Amino acid sequence: MKYKRVIVWFRNDLRVHDHAPLFYASQKSEEVIPVYCVDPRLFGKSLLGMSKIGSHRAKFLKEAVDNLKTMLQQIGGNLVILQGNPEEVILDFALANNAEAIFYSEEVTQEETKVEQQLEKNIWKHGIRTEAYWQSTLFHIEDLPFPVSQIPEVFTQFRKECEKFSNIQKTLPRPKSINFPDLGNNFEDFPGLSTIGLKEPIAKRKSTVEFKGGEDEGIKRLQNYFWEKDQLKVYKETRNGLLGADYSSKFSPWLALGCLSPRFIYEEVKQYERERVKNQSTYWLIFELIWRDYFRFICKKNGNKVFQLRGIKNYVDNWSRNEEIFWKWANGVTGIPFVDANIREMNATGFMSNRGRQNVASFLVNDLNIDWRWGAVYFESQLIDYEVCSNWGNWMYIAGVGNDPRENRYFNILRQAENYDRRGEYIRHWIPELARIPGFDVHQPFDLSTSQLKDYGISLGSSYPQPMVMNKAWI
């Protein structure tokens, strides 16, 4: 039996390739209405008054939704943009337009699943059906070699068993065409940033990759990184870089909003291995995508524990909640150049490398001893690639309350700076005032009030702060 009319509710899956709800709706229904809902709660405030979505991510999201509309128009469809709580406005829209079912992609964390459950409850009494699809991971949940409740707490075990006993399903083709009903021309666009109370982001120093939201741009980035620049073959050696467009794939913002499907990336890696080269680097990109899967399944398994201070280890430390210290970290004015440079990059562009994230997170929780959840919420607000499971999973990991078999994942900031930014190029890029000091060793602990600076006749006193902590373990 075919449905007469189905709504496809787009969430963090803003693409038309490998899209289960869209694909199955196009097969199972005579007419398909794609819908995106701008949920005002996403633009609310979080801990310490931080915006849940900052300007960089909001801009990227708007671009991604706008592009989805274009992609749908290319196959005969369109995108209806609703504003309000999805569990209410989608119901009203479904009733007003005689939809028989709503197809959507399943999420795993509380805020999102609550919305799904409420929508399902609201529409059930009107005889409207729902079909929820699992997507967004490389390994489909039904293909895991264990039930979600028994997912190993150690990544390596998870990975090895998935690699041995599971298969990665093929991508679903993008529908050649969809039959979109005549609903008139009364379509709203995704609101401008000022309407949702945000300012247009102004990058204070140029980002090395132009992050523009949307499936088109995500695929373009993949073409460029894999095929034009041929960077995949050296990914494992370059992935710990800090400066430049191509030390890592930079796929994360498109993955986070579902503009790129991980299975699509996987198939491209396999094609690259057939046509160019198969080596440790090509495998390593898949290895990292398995990390991404892992955090998603861990969130599904552990529910709200991932947002709680004690984490999934149920371990409690004496965290401090000193707002002054926290904001120095968040504003990139700790006086520790390697930390400040990374934070300043994120604040200016919405992106930070994985190496940078590990270091600034470790500095906040291990050196400043601040409640790790404040850091996670700050990243949520700033990162263009914020993804709930990867973010909270990684923060738990570094705070020692997650899935880390090691007791204390401490990063020695000065040693890390020496190893990964030997010539201080990254630090000088993001803290240009340091570039004015010839020969100044940005990797050594220093006291800006000493003769070191006076020798150069430079007073940085007001433009760059003194270090807020000096940890003996660094020296």
Ligand X SMILES: Cc1cc2nc3c(=O)[nH]c(=O)nc-3n(C[C@H](O)[C@H](O)[C@H](O)COP(=O)(O)OP(=O)(O)OC[C@H]3O[C@@H](n4cnc5c(N)ncnc54)[C@H](O)[C@@H]3O)c2cc1C
Instruction: Check binding of 281 to ligand X (CB under 6 A).
Output: no
φ, ψ for residue 32 (rounded to 5)?
-130, 130
Tell me how far, at minimum, the Cβ of 196 lies from ligand X, in Å: 21
End-to-end CA distance of the chain: 71
Instruction: Check binding of 246 to ligand X (CB under 6 A).
Output: no
Among 346, 383, 414, 453, binds ligand X (CB under 6 A): 383
Contact set for ligand X, span 84-103 (CB under 6 A): none
Q: Looking up tokens 């198939």, which residue turns up?
A: 267
Looking at this protein, which amino acid is placed at residue 9?
W
Rounded CA-CA distance 460/455 in Å is: 12
| Residue 116 CA neighbour count, 13 Å, CB half | 18
Candidates 104-112, 149-157, 389-397, 423-431; binding stretch for ligand X (CB under 6 A): 389-397
Nearer to ligand X, 180 or 225 (CB): 225
One DSSP character per residue, 381-406 reads HH-TT--HHHHHHHHHHHHTSSS-SS
Q: What is the DSSP letter of 47?
A: G
Scanning 97-170, the segments in alpha helix (DSSP H) are 110-124, 155-165
Instruction: Check binding of 17 to ligand X (CB under 6 A).
Output: no
Helix axes 323-330, 372-382, angle to 10 degrees: 40
Among 379, 426, 440, 446, binds ligand X (CB under 6 A): 379
Instruction: Check binding of 256 to ligand X (CB under 6 A).
Output: yes
**Among the listed residues 151, 103, 155, the one whose alpha carbon sits nearest the alpha carbon of residue 128:** 103
Candidates 74-82, 83-91, 313-321, 381-389; binding stretch for ligand X (CB under 6 A): 381-389
Tell me how far, at minimum, the Cβ of 291 lies from ligand X, in Å: 4
Tell me how far, at minimum, the Cβ of 359 lies from ligand X, in Å: 9
Among 93, 395, 426, 430, binds ligand X (CB under 6 A): 395
Nearer to ligand X, 6 or 242 (CB): 242
**Among the listed residues 291, 285, 269, the one whose alpha carbon sits nearest the alpha carbon of residue 137:** 291
Rounded CA-CA distance 242/337 in Å is: 14
Nearer to ligand X, 9 or 226 (CB): 226
Candidates 134-142, 271-279, 382-390, 424-432; binding stretch for ligand X (CB under 6 A): 382-390
Tell me how far, at minimum, the Cβ of 154 lies from ligand X, in Å: 15
φ, ψ for residue 369 (rounded to 5)?
60, 30
Nearer to ligand X, 251 or 440 (CB): 251
Instruction: Check binding of 386 to ligand X (CB under 6 A).
Output: yes
Q: Please, which residues bridge with residue 320 across strands?
A: 370
Contact set for ligand X, span 334-373 (CB under 6 A): 353-354, 357-358, 361
Nearer to ligand X, 62 or 292 (CB): 292
Question: At 252, is the secondary structure helix, strand, or coil?
Answer: helix
Candidates 146-154, 158-166, 377-385, 425-433; binding stretch for ligand X (CB under 6 A): 377-385
Which token pair is 143? Answer: 């293909």
Question: At 13, is the secondary structure helix, strand, or coil?
Answer: coil
Rounded CA-CA distance 250/353 in Å is: 9
Among 5, 15, 250, 301, binds ligand X (CB under 6 A): 250
Among 135, 231, 252, 342, binds ligand X (CB under 6 A): 252
Nearer to ligand X, 5 or 15 (CB): 15
Tell me how far, at minimum, the Cβ of 423 lies from ligand X, in Å: 22
Contact set for ligand X, span 284-303 (CB under 6 A): 285, 288-289, 291-292, 295
Among 12, 26, 248, 347, binds ligand X (CB under 6 A): 248
**Alpha carbon separation from 248 to 60, 230, 285, 379 (Å, rounded):** 20, 12, 9, 19
Q: How far is CA 448 from the centre of its chain?
A: 36
Candidates 32-40, 73-81, 177-185, 243-251; binding stretch for ligand X (CB under 6 A): 243-251
Nearer to ligand X, 102 or 144 (CB): 144
Rounded CA-CA distance 258/148 in Å is: 22
**Alpha carbon separation from 172 to 296, 396, 468 (Å, rounded):** 21, 34, 52
Among 107, 340, 387, 421, binds ligand X (CB under 6 A): 387
Cβ-based burial of 106 (10 A; exposed 0-12, middle 13-18, buried ≥19): middle
Site string for ligand X, 313-332 (x = CB under 6 A): --------------------
Q: Are 35 and 60 in contact (CB under 8 A)?
A: no
Among 135, 261, 349, 394, binds ligand X (CB under 6 A): 394
Q: Are 104 and 94 in contact (CB under 8 A)?
A: no
Binding site for ligand X (CB under 6 A): 239, 248-252, 255-256, 285, 288-289, 291-292, 295, 353-354, 357-358, 361, 379, 383, 385-387, 390-391, 394-395, 398
